[in-house]
Amino acid sequence: MSHGRNLVATWATYRGGVVGPYAASVTAGAVPERTRREVFTRFLVRVWLPDRPGALGAVASRIGALGADIVGIDVLEQGDRVAVDEFAITLMRADLIDLLAREIEEVDGVSVEAWRRVDRFPDPRLDFLRLVEELLAAPDLTTLETRLVTAIVAEFTADWSAIVAPAGVVVAAGGPVPSPEILEALVAGTAASPLVASGVTGPDDLAVAPMPARGATLLAGRDGHPFRALERRQLLSLARIADRLPALGDVG
């Protein structure tokens, strides 16, 4: 759920070829030849970029050389001399995505982490407000918690999400969801690290958000495509809002 230079996501990890469950939906036949106004395919492409002048421009040039358009760029994470950017790209034909990824990786120091095909490009502000509206409209606490974990699976393309309290698993969505014993062990393990417990960082395949008003922890798992800093911040914001709603009297 990010896109502002724009975007968020599901990923089929790309390393010199298409792998993962999204490959079939992307490569199953070419899009009929029509004008760009009539049809095009949308992709979100996650790219590792070196922090040097001209790197972004070189990638943009490679993308444009295939007749693709860059609709938006979202900075998911910045580190020491490297950034992880997500490009919103339109292509005339879906089967060009393999070639596009290879072209991008021709730029020195650049690698494609993952890509996915989407029906629409997300609008981060409107999408976030819509989710908050759905949480506010929940008639009771159980519905609110169910809507929260369901939304996380959908919007963050997580494999699963769960709220875990000291008494056990409160609610979960997605699948396969780890067993209650594993979920409780994950909460106990993340609690040993203040940074991980706070949700600021964590294992690539796990995002954590504390819900102190409930004495609970929100977890999200996603295999094969790491949670990035921006996604972790978005998850923390949603968890804080959901955690405070009963205290504000918005949920009965």
- Flag whether pLDDT at 16 surpasses 60: no
Q: Are residues 130 and 238 in the same domain?
A: yes
Instruction: Identify the pLDDT of residue 30.
Output: 37
Q: How does pLDDT run across 129-186, given as a tens digit for each residue?
A: 899 999 999 999 999 999 999 999 988 889 999 999 999 999 999 989 999 999 999 9
Residue 137 belongs to what domain range? Answer: 124-248
Q: How does pLDDT run across 175-210, given as a tens digit for each residue?
A: 899 999 999 999 999 998 998 988 888 998 999 999
> Would you say residue 5 lies in a domain?
no
Q: Are residues 143 and 113 in the same domain?
A: no
The total domain count for the chain is 2
Q: Are residues 239 and 170 in the same domain?
A: yes
- Flag whether pLDDT at 14 surpasses 90: no
Question: pLDDT band at 1, cuts 50/70/90?
Answer: low
> Would you say residue 4 lies in a domain?
no
> Would you say residue 229 lies in a domain?
yes
Q: What is the largest CA-CA distance in the chain?
A: 58
CATH of the domain at 196: 3.30.450.40
Instruction: Identify the pLDDT of residue 43.
Output: 94
Higher pLDDT, residue 38 or 191: 191
Q: Which of 91, 118, 145 is the C-terminal boundary of a domain? A: 118
Q: Are residues 102 and 173 in the same domain?
A: no
**Reported pTM:** 0.69
- Flag whether pLDDT at 18 surpasses 90: no
Q: Are residues 103 and 149 in the same domain?
A: no
DSSP annotation of 6 reads -
Contacts of 232 (CB under 8 A, 6+ apart): 199, 200, 201, 202, 207
CATH of the domain at 110: 3.30.70.260
Q: Are residues 174 and 135 in the same domain?
A: yes
> Would you say residue 3 lies in a domain?
no
Instruction: Identify the pLDDT of residue 39.
Output: 67
> Would you say residue 96 lies in a domain?
yes
Q: Are residues 143 and 237 in the same domain?
A: yes
- Flag whether pLDDT at 35 surpasses 90: no
Alpha-carbon 161 to chain mean position: 13
> Would you say residue 7 lies in a domain?
no
Q: Are residues 141 and 105 in the same domain?
A: no
Q: Are residues 87 and 134 in the same domain?
A: no
Question: pLDDT band at 235, cuts 50/70/90?
Answer: very high
Please classify residue 163 by burial: count the beta carbons closer than 10 Å to its beta carbon, then call 0-12 exposed, 13-18 middle and 19+ buried: buried
- Flag whether pLDDT at 115 surpasses 50: yes
